[in-house]
Structure 1
């Protein structure tokens, strides 16, 4: 059976939504009367250029006794597509929600549009193992409006050119001072040995991606809070009003001023940042989990490249911190009441999601079919046999796994395997955003908009375009335009949450 996929290039937004809506109604959801496959529609996020072929989808259907119809939403347009679908109530049995902090999405969740599944999770062998911490992170006012998508707590870290360290007689850095020195040496001392002044310590990316930039990681290393700090009296202080944030700002400012941070970072996208690293123009990359991709991209260009992942950098006190992107929750698999009309239907869908966490289905969605897409080497590591085939059949589904942590796949690449192990180690040092599960009407209303004030001021300060007084003026503007109200509402929500425990 061929699955319908409604990713049509060139179609208008209205046409895509219409197709998605029609696709969700072509089959009656629920189990067949004869005990046949459960028919399920799934509005899901697509992180690849094309949807998957039927190969792995067929395997998932067989393992879960379902017939699946996917309504794919390209990740690049997820905010527009998802908010439009929510407003029009054109949804599917399962809706993947990865932007829980989006105001329209959050308001839809709070409105009662989706089933609260908190009390149902305990009835399923895989779902009941979701940690209390992740349940709390995924909660809104004590309700869990979907199955939490389980992710690693903190994946951030650095990738450093080990061959450049060796050439310059440098050790892998463990402190901020040592990291600064490595960036300096990589810029000034010709680490590639070509006799040209054509390398820089840190590559980086555009301000729109500042959460995934070197600067965000620096704030962790200096001990800044992740988003907000809860004071002893229960009040909330934004991260950019802490001394540690300013230390990170000044560190980045010095890097940029001296040329140790890429001078074009403000107009560089992630793919360009990766290309610059792969081409040997930069020696430090922020994004530890990308280490294998960087090595692959460098083939034929920098075949001598040796890389080392680094997750622990302190200020010299031996204390380690790393920011957590989402508190171990990558979103929700949510069930709209307009489509899922009764408890029996909900339970069939929960059972399907539970099946997706089974080991056999996890491997289908991770590696594909053993012997076709991958093999296990003598050390028990997964080794891909045909990357092009894997990208067509498997990769689009890998980001749809309800859990990335229940099973861990050993990687055949030693560098990538070490990075994976460091991601697990990061759990000990993870700094969570305390507002992730709290609600603020003002944040829902203007949070994303006024964050741009701080992002712009942060980048301008790093580049030496404004001074500390002007940065403080931006903070005052943020407060006046809603920041102060957000802090008050978060404090009230936190107080209420503490009382209910």
Structure 2
């Protein structure tokens, strides 16, 4: 009965959080002591985030199960609704053996981690060869209150930059921009000077989405010197990013793009998939986001914009000075946690077996499966360990949904043969030299834990309203005062105290 249920669940198109309660009944393999058999087959349920339109078929799943000696049942949550769904799952205790938590700044998530709902795992890492390689800095950044409540997703430190239509630049006689003013001029030209040569007014410079973090706003903010979430002074005073000059300059820049029509007017309600489709269809020529998205954008353009050529920029500043170059580091290189609820992982033996499973996901073979698929079916490999996808449609259906589930995304021998992806990887590595960290990422604030998400909404709403022209600078400052009086002042004070304590003051 239990096995039949697992098989049925695997065949569902998508299993939402409402189904997760059913999964908890069949999760884990249980044991009566801290000892476990590393060679025993594990039965594992996984509440995971889906970043593609549909979940994968069983092809790669079956290979992963064979590789890790496990029987895995996924419960997929669409990325667009992850905050609501994860909050609901935490509140209703409808979880799974493994829970993907990507929003470590979410109040509900932080409270659940601090409450003891999940196992603390740092003491166990040394017992597993791949987990033991996780750096102390990564562990520190991923910890809350000094404790590590899951295996961190190890991401590249700073992945973002600007992708532009090179063929449009060439047609209009423009160079790759080095400053925000030059970027604005490119946006103007891509909007007004008919870059696709069809004689119609049907293009914009930027195409952006409804995300002030992973969309254009935060990367542009880096170019204007905005700190990464928080700024700390020499004497330990903490200032939120939205109270800095850089943040205001970024809002003004975005407002100018919006007012002049140099970006899509519907950016505030545009999803990431729609943003990428608009770019791939030739409706815009500037995309701000992860640099490795360039390869995907070019692939998406096949059959629609076959003449598309792309170029990337990661060295833009507002001043033109190399010394001012900066790029925000997303969560200090932490993509979230693979966390293990005590309600599902009943004892230490079961925890150890699941940690063995995660350790196995960090093997080269597992990474290759979750990134490229099966050699000869999805990709081919040359004598330099460079992989080329040979069936894009099949890869998108069977492999791509697993990419976001990799506990680590770089540092493996196998690599992409695509020149654009190789260039993106080099630029991302270069970004690390200019990465701006969030000094408060591993600090704890009780007020933030309980009210942080609600308070952030005040700032997010005010930022959008400012860009859209619904409020002026005075109105934005009113929102700042509301944030401070509603709990923001307490967050500042608590972070300052936590920072001083962490510095041994």
Report the TM-score, using the length of structure 1 for normalisation: 0.91
Question: By how many angstroms is 1:409 displaced?
Answer: 4.4
Which residue of structure 2 lines up, in the alignment, with residue 413 of structure 1?
418
Which residue of structure 1 lines up, in the alignment, with residue 9 of structure 2?
5
Question: By how many angstroms is 1:48 displaced?
Answer: 3.1
Deviation per residue, 1:198-235 (Å, 9 max, x gap): 322212223xx121232221110111101111122212
Alignment of 1:457-468 (within 5 A): 457-468=462-473
**Contact 1:4 1:69 (C-alpha < 8 Å) held by counterparts:** no
Q: Does 1:286 align with 2:288?
A: yes
Question: By how many angstroms is 1:186 displaced?
Answer: 1.8
Question: By how many angstroms is 1:327 displaced?
Answer: 1.3
Question: By how many angstroms is 1:379 displaced?
Answer: 5.5
Q: Give, in whole Å, the separation in 1 of the partners of 2:14 and 2:176.
A: 48
**Contact 1:29 1:40 (C-alpha < 8 Å) held by counterparts:** no
Which residue of structure 2 lines up, in the alignment, with residue 489 of structure 1?
494
Which residue of structure 2 lines up, in the alignment, with residue 404 of structure 1?
409
Q: Give, in whole Å, the separation in 2 of the partners of 1:259 and 1:185.
A: 11
Deviation per residue, 1:332-377 (Å, 9 max, x gap): 1122223333333322222221111111111111111111111114
Which residue of structure 1 lines up, in the alignment, with residue 23 of structure 2?
20
Q: Does 1:256 align with 2:261?
A: no
Q: Does 1:80 align with 2:100?
A: no
Alignment of 1:310-389 (within 5 A): 310-314=313-317, 315-318=319-322, 319-377=324-382, 380-389=385-394
The secondary structure found in structure 1 opposite 2:421 is: helix
> Which runs of 5 or more structure 1 residues have no equivalent in the other structure?
none
Deviates more, 1:182-191 or 1:150-159: 182-191
Q: Does 1:156 align with 2:160?
A: yes
Deviates more, 1:481-490 or 1:69-78: 69-78
Question: By how many angstroms is 1:22 displaced?
Answer: 2.9
Deviation per residue, 1:156-212 (Å, 9 max, x gap): 111101011111111111112221221222222222222333322212223xx1212
1:437 to 1:332, Cα distance in 2 relative to 1, 3 A: same
Which residue of structure 2 lines up, in the alignment, with residue 60 of structure 1?
64
Question: By how many angstroms is 1:437 displaced?
Answer: 1.4
Q: Does 1:166 align with 2:167?
A: no
Q: 1:440 aligns with which of 436, 441, 445?
A: 445
Q: Does 1:117 align with 2:118?
A: no
> Which runs of 5 or more structure 2 residues have no equivalent in the other structure?
none
**Contact 1:28 1:39 (C-alpha < 8 Å) held by counterparts:** no
Q: Give, in whole Å, the separation in 2 of the partners of 1:407 and 1:35.
A: 25
Deviates more, 1:386-395 or 1:220-229: 386-395
1:93 to 1:263, Cα distance in 2 relative to 1, 3 A: closer
Which residue of structure 2 lines up, in the alignment, with residue 212 of structure 1?
214
**Contact 2:16 2:75 (C-alpha < 8 Å) held by counterparts:** no
Deviates more, 1:415-424 or 1:356-365: 415-424
Which residue of structure 2 lines up, in the alignment, with residue 183 of structure 1?
187
**Contact 1:3 1:70 (C-alpha < 8 Å) held by counterparts:** no
Deviation per residue, 1:121-144 (Å, 9 max, x gap): 122221121122211111011100
Which residue of structure 1 lines up, in the alignment, with residue 430 of structure 2?
425
1:443 to 1:7, Cα distance in 2 relative to 1, 3 A: farther
Q: 2:475 aligns with which of 449, 460, 470?
A: 470
Q: Give, in whole Å, the separation in 1 of the partners of 2:11 and 2:82.
A: 13
1:9 to 1:368, Cα distance in 2 relative to 1, 3 A: closer
Question: By how many angstroms is 1:455 displaced?
Answer: 1.9
Question: By how many angstroms is 1:251 displaced?
Answer: 2.1
**Contact 1:312 1:320 (C-alpha < 8 Å) held by counterparts:** yes
1:67 to 1:82, Cα distance in 2 relative to 1, 3 A: same
Report the TM-score, using the length of structure 2 for normalisation: 0.91
Deviates more, 1:4-13 or 1:477-486: 4-13
Q: Give, in whole Å, the separation in 1 of the partners of 2:472 and 2:116.
A: 46
Task: Provide the aligned C-alpha RMSD in A.
Answer: 2.6
The secondary structure found in structure 1 opposite 2:415 is: coil
Q: Give, in whole Å, the separation in 1 of the partners of 2:255 and 2:76.
A: 42
Q: Give, in whole Å, the separation in 1 of the partners of 2:342 and 2:15.
A: 28
1:81 to 1:182, Cα distance in 2 relative to 1, 3 A: closer
Q: Does 1:295 align with 2:298?
A: yes
Deviates more, 1:421-430 or 1:42-51: 42-51
Question: By how many angstroms is 1:35 displaced?
Answer: 5.2
**Contact 2:446 2:494 (C-alpha < 8 Å) held by counterparts:** yes
1:452 to 1:335, Cα distance in 2 relative to 1, 3 A: closer
1:338 to 1:198, Cα distance in 2 relative to 1, 3 A: closer
Alignment of 1:222-237 (within 5 A): 222-237=224-239
Deviates more, 1:225-234 or 1:253-262: 253-262
Q: Give, in whole Å, the separation in 2 of the partners of 1:212 and 1:34.
A: 39
Q: Give, in whole Å, the separation in 1 of the partners of 2:405 and 2:156.
A: 15
Which residue of structure 2 lines up, in the alignment, with residue 69 of structure 1?
73
